[in-house]
């Protein structure tokens, strides 16, 4: 054991790398730009050196040994049992401990054991190794898990002959259960080691697309990228929309971030990767917006038993809005907020917002709306939920100054049934825009289920679509039931549907399309 620790110490100090990539063999690993991982310390599991050779490999099975030998021992070192004949200068000998129910039920007991042993679930062995590596490196480390899909659509050449696909996936699900439990509890024991799963699982920290972007930037650390401001990003989106006649898709977070900074960052990344053009949040001054009677009402949430407990916990403070601004700039997506009261409006001015929203929630607070409209010089978005023609006239008479004004058809019902969507109102707003008000931009704030309502809104002339998004189910969060999940590509599919609707609509000029042809070629004399 002393010799093993000495070898790990030498490896850690020689490497000096604090970014680690553990390579699995799930299909998603082939979507990653592996050739750009030169700034990473790479760990191979089993024979994944055939995908990309690493610094250290972990395996115990003879069939993997045969494949690695055939491959020419491409990794620098191998953590493997002593009976396997690996070149001496590459061998980190370790005893093999067969998988037991204790390891499945209590993986941290294995990871924290002072004696290093290899186990069937080699990723646990790699994690255990990294706790030692980090101790010698004496720096915080980030560990990225690549190709850990925990599912398979077919058997591969290196699968056991007697294992069918059903058994293989059952075995992978067991491993996934252990792995996800380790992710949940790891930081409590090892705060200087950040475990990051790459993929689209509900426990993933980043997607494959997000990682590819990050590792691309790693190569140019000596040339820091200048980030555009939120105002500049908004102008880019507006220009792109005007030039391509493309609707602006807004991912509305509401309170689904639950005031959690890590959750906020993940939602921003996933929304951007799914194709959102903008991100929207909300800001309200809890103490002035609600009465004391309302705040004291029972409300069941993890934060307490009253509405005050819930609302106070999920409200973003200055530091969290600074985080939003930083992450949105890094991900090149602009953001804005609904401001529900004057205190919130004044608070948001410190972030130099290029536009703000006046939501349906406060449509009967007309003095406040007029005060904001006269003070704010940027663009405005106004939703028309729970209002009628009188409110439309109020908007047209008071907010169409030298600015863009997005007016969004909205029905304040959660979820909105089909008969209440009133998407023809979007067409009415579009007609107003075409005939009277050139700086009026029609749109649709969707509280209906799915993507059909927004697809119809595109056909009706919408220039902006607002859709609630969430990160998994949290039934105690307002509007959770109408939100589309950012996990499992649900919101990505929504954006795809919207873009398909745009494609199908085309433009208003009738012409012969290149895809058209006559079924019958006319004979001479029949022209």
Q: Tell me if the bond preceding 178 is cis, omega within 30° of 0.
A: no
Instruction: Check whether 498 has a pLDDT greater than 50.
Output: yes
Contact predicate 19/137, CB 8 Å = no
Reported confidence tier of residue 98, pLDDT bands at 50, 70, 90: confident
186, part of any domain? yes
515 belongs to a structural domain? no
Q: Which residues contact 503 (CB under 8 A, 6 or more apart)?
A: none
Q: Is residue 122 part of a domain?
A: yes
Task: Tell me the Ramachandran region of residue 303: left when phi exceeds 0, alpha when psi lies from -120 to 50, beta otherwise.
Answer: alpha
212, 32 contact by CB (below 8 A):
yes
Res 217: pLDDT: 58
Strand order in the sheet with 41-45: 91-93, 77-80, 56-58, 41-45, 19-23, 141-146, 193-197
Strand 56-58 to 77-80 pairing: parallel
How large is the average pLDDT for residues 298-310?
88
> In the predicted model, is pLDDT for residue 372 greater than 90?
yes
Query: How many degrees, rounded to 5, is the angle at CA 349 between CA 386 and CA 277?
Result: 65
Q: Which domain holds residue 431?
A: 230-503
Instruction: Tell whether 511 is covered by a domain.
Output: no
Q: At 472, phi and psi to the nearest 5?
A: 80, 175
Would you call 63 exposed, middle or buried from its count of C-beta atoms within 10 A (0-12, 13-18, 19+)?
middle
Q: Are residues 301 and 202 in the same domain?
A: no
Segment 179-190 shows an average pLDDT of: 91
224 located within any domain: no
CA torsion 513→518→522→527, rounded to 10°?
Answer: -40
> Do 327 and 459 belong together in one domain?
yes
pLDDT in tens, 53-64: 999 999 998 888
Does a structural domain hold residue 512?
no
- Do the Cβ atoms of 161 and 107 come closer than 8 Å? no
Q: Are residues 256 and 141 in the same domain?
A: no
148-160 pLDDT per residue, tens: 998 876 555 555 4
The answer on pLDDT for 162 being more than 80 is: no
Name residues whose C-beta falls within 8 Å of residue 4's C-beta, 6 or more positions apart in sequence: 92, 93, 94, 116
Helix ranges (DSSP H) in 94-146: 101-105, 107-112, 122-137
Cβ contacts of 525 within 8 Å, gap of 6 or more? none
pLDDT value of residue 314: 87
pLDDT of 3 reads 83
Which segment, 137-141, 381-385, 412-416, 484-488, is predicted with the most confidence on average?
A: 381-385
Structure tokens at 101: 């129910």
Q: Which residues pair with 248 in a beta bridge?
A: 464
Q: What was the pLDDT predicted at 222?
A: 42
Torsion of CA 117, 120, 123, 127, to 10 degrees: -20
pLDDT for res 479 = 67
Q: Are residues 183 and 293 in the same domain?
A: no
Residues 356 and 438 in one domain: yes
Is 523 within a domain?
no
Token pair of 253, please? 């977070």
Are 163 and 262 in a shared domain? no
What are 117's two structure tokens?
A: 């042993």
Cα–Cα distances in angstroms (integers) from residue 427 to residues 25, 70, 144, 435, in the given order: 51, 67, 48, 12
Q: Helices (H), strands (E): how many in the chain?
A: 19, 20
Q: Would 462 be classed as within a structural domain? A: yes
Whole-angstrom Cα distance, residue 377 to residue 356? 10
Structural tokens at position 127:
């994690």
- DSSP state, residue 386: T
Residues 430, 438: Cα–Cα separation, whole Å: 10
Is 58 found in the same domain as 172? yes
Helix, strand, coil percentages in the chain from 3-state DSSP, rounded to 5: 45, 20, 35
What's the CA gap between 47 and 64, in Å, rounded?
Answer: 6
- Rounded to 5°, angle at Cα 115 from 112 and 117: 95
Per-residue pLDDT band at 106 (split at 50, 70, 90): confident
pLDDT: is 514 or 522 the higher one?
Answer: 514
Question: Do 298 and 190 sit in the same domain of this protein?
Answer: no
- Last residue in a domain, options 186, 218, 250: 218
Query: What SS3 state is found at 148?
Result: coil
Token pair of 294 as six digits = 């309302």
Phi, psi of 58 (to 5 degrees): -120, 125
Q: What are the structure tokens assigned to 183, written together?
A: 């992710």
Q: Could you say which DSSP state residue 198 is in? A: B
Residue that wins the pLDDT comparison between 375 and 84: 375
**What angle in degrees, to the nearest 10, is found between the helix axes of 261-274 and 208-218?**
100
Per-residue pLDDT tens for 228-285?
999 999 999 999 999 988 999 999 998 888 888 888 999 999 999 999 999 999 999 9
390 & 418 share domain? yes
pLDDT at 396: 96
477 plus 333 within the same structural domain:
yes
- What is the arithmetic mean of pLDDT over 82-105? 83
Whether pLDDT at 161 is above 50 = no
End-to-end CA distance of the chain: 93
208 and 328 in a single domain? The answer is no
Q: What is the CATH number of the domain that holds 451?
A: 3.20.20.70
Domain count, the chain: 2
Same domain, 329 and 470: yes
- Crossing angle (nearest 10°) for helices 2-15 and 122-137: 70
């Amino acid at each position: 054991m002393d010799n093993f620790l000495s070898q790990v110490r030498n490896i850690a100090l020689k490497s000096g790398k604090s970014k680690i990539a553990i390579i699995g063999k799930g299909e998603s690993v082939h979507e990653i730009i592996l050739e750009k991982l030169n700034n990473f310390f790479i760990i191979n599991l089993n024979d994944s050196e055939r995908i990309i050779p690493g610094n250290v490999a972990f395996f115990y099975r003879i069939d993997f040994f045969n494949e690695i030998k055939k491959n020419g021992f491409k990794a620098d070192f191998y953590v493997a049992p002593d009976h396997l004949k690996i070149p001496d200068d590459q061998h980190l000998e370790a005893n093999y401990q067969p998988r037991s129910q204790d390891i499945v039920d209590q993986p941290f007991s294995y990871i924290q054991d002072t004696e290093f042993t290899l186990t069937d679930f080699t990723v646990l062995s790699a994690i255990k190794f990294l706790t030692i590596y980090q101790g010698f490196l004496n720096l915080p480390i980030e560990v990225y898990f690549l190709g850990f899909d925990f599912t398979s659509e077919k058997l591969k050449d290196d699968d056991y002959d007697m294992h069918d696909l059903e058994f293989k996936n059952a075995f992978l699900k067991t491993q996934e259960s252990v792995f996800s439990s380790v992710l949940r509890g790891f930081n409590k024991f090892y705060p200087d080691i950040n475990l990051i799963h790459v993929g689209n699982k509900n426990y993933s920290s980043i997607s494959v697309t997000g990682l590819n972007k990050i590792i691309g930037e790693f190569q140019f650390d000596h040339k820091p990228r200048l980030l555009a401001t939120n105002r500049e990003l908004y102008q880019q989106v507006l220009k792109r929309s005007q030039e391509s006649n493309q609707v602006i898709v807004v991912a509305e977070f509401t309170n689904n971030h639950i005031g959690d900074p890590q959750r906020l960052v993940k939602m921003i990344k996933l929304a951007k990767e799914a194709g959102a053009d903008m991100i929207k949040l909300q800001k309200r001054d809890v103490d002035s917006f609600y009465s004391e009677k309302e705040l004291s009402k029972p409300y069941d949430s993890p934060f307490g038993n009253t509405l005050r407990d819930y609302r106070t916990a999920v409200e973003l403070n200055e530091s969290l809005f600074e985080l939003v601004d930083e992450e949105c700039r890094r991900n090149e997506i602009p953001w804005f907020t609904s401001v529900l009261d004057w205190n919130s409006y004044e608070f948001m001015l410190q972030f130099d917002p290029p536009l703000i929203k006046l939501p349906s929630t406060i449509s009967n607070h007309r003095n406040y709306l007029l005060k904001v409209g006269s003070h704010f010089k940027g663009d405005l978005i106004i939703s028309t939920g729970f209002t009628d023609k009188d409110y439309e006239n109020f908007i047209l008479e008071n907010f169409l100054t030298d600015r863009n004004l997005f007016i969004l058809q909205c029905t304040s019902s959660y979820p909105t049934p089909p008969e209440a969507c009133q998407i023809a109102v979007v067409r009415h707003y579009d007609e107003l825009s075409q005939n009277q008000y050139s700086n009026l931009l029609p749109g649709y704030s969707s509280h209906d289920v799915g993507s059909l309502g927004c697809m119809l809104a595109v056909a009706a002339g919408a220039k902006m679509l607002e859709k609630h998004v969430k990160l998994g189910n949290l039934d105690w969060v307002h509007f959770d039931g109408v939100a589309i999940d950012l996990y499992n590509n649900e919101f990505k599919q929504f954006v795809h549907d919207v873009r398909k609707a745009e494609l199908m609509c085309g433009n208003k000029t009738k012409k012969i399309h290149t895809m058209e042809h006559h079924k019958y070629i006319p004979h001479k004399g029949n022209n």
